[in-house]
Copies of this chain bind each other. A is one copy, B any other.
Amino acid sequence: MYRIGVDLGGTNIAVGLVNEAHKIVKKQSAPTGAERAGEAIAADIAKLCLAVCHAEGITLRDVACIGIATPGIANVDTGVVEYSCNLPFRKFPLAECVGKELGFDNVKIANDANAAALGEAVAGAAKGSKNSMMITLGTGVGGGIILDGKIYAGFNHAGGELGHVVIEVDGALCGCGRRGCWEAYSSATALIRMTKEKIEECRAEGQSTAMADAAKITGRTACDAMRAGDEAAKEVYDKYVKYLACGLTNMINIFQPQVISLGGGVSGEGQSLIDALLPLIRKEQYGGDVVELTQLRIAELGNDAGIIGAAMLN
């Protein structure tokens, strides 16, 4: 049997047909049109589900389940999206809507970061682990918690907001309204802010830095300049790594997961990021010389994690 995974984003809907080896065999996408009503978005999801089946030469009778990864608070029991920032969902019965369009019963939903974590746990960097977490270092800091092979999201389905854990009281303002959230220090956005701040500081102090030559400051600017030997860039990178290690150590002291995988843009730094983080984490984490320790890995599935995780919701 196949499964269908849907990754519903603020910009695009991506739908994948997933085989029993957890590989995406067909993928199609369309613009979300987030300004439209929920029903119209659900109808497009349904169309894409049929399209991937058609492309593979199968029908929905060959599909065991459809899973949808959605931004916001997803009630996995009822299939209702309670709320989403980026989409017009307020207590919207997304699973039911898509199911009705298709005459298909088995439609599940989950929060998108949680679905991506499940994808990595089933078929990616945390494959085979008893419990794991995925931390996504992108525009924000997203997180998903997988315990005994299942998403953990709390009694009200709103948990796992790992980016909104304060690591610096009265610190940098976060988009969520709190000050000092992990997200405000460890997202790609934060890395860009730190880079710009340092360039300004260099300018003010008449210190030279290659970072100032970048046409556009991105999350890579500091990393690339640091590798080219730029001192100011190394300061930015070290600061970023220090905060990221702090938040990761927090997660380990709370969860002691078998695996933490890092996804999102910044994780493109790869093993060198892990190598920079691990000594800081090992020095501060609980359980040091006594028990087996959490493994820190780069996520493996990239943008497919959400589709694959969604496909595995049931």
Instruction: Enumerate chain A interface residues (CB-CB to B < 8 A).
Output: 73, 82-83, 129-131, 145, 147, 152-162, 164-169, 171, 176-178, 242-243, 246, 249-250, 253-258, 283-284, 286-287, 290-293
A125 to chain B, nearest CB (A): 15
Task: State the number of copies, please.
Answer: 2
Contacts A164-B286, A169-B168, A286-B164 given; does A159 touch B291 at CB 8 Å: no
Contact across chains for A287 and B169 when beta carbons are under 8 A apart: no
Contact across chains for A254 and B290 when beta carbons are under 8 A apart: no
**Within the complex, which residue of B83, B166, B253 is in contact with A164, where a contact is CB–CB below 8 Å?**
B253
27 contacts between A and B (CB under 8 A): A73-B291, A82-B290, A82-B291, A83-B290, A130-B155, A131-B154, A131-B155, A147-B147, A155-B258, A156-B256, A156-B287, A156-B292, A158-B286, A158-B291, A159-B253, A159-B254, A159-B256, A161-B286, A162-B253, A165-B250, A165-B254, A166-B246, A167-B167, A167-B168, A167-B169, A169-B171, A177-B283
Chain B residue with Cβ nearest A162:
B254
A253 to chain B, nearest CB (A): 4
**Within the complex, which residue of B145, B242, B292 is in contact with A155, where a contact is CB–CB below 8 Å?**
B292
- In the bound complex, how far is the Cα of B145 from the Cα of A242, in angstroms? 27
Given A82-B290, A158-B256, 12 new contacts (CB under 8 A): A83-B290, A131-B154, A155-B258, A156-B293, A157-B291, A159-B256, A161-B254, A161-B286, A164-B286, A165-B253, A167-B167, A167-B168
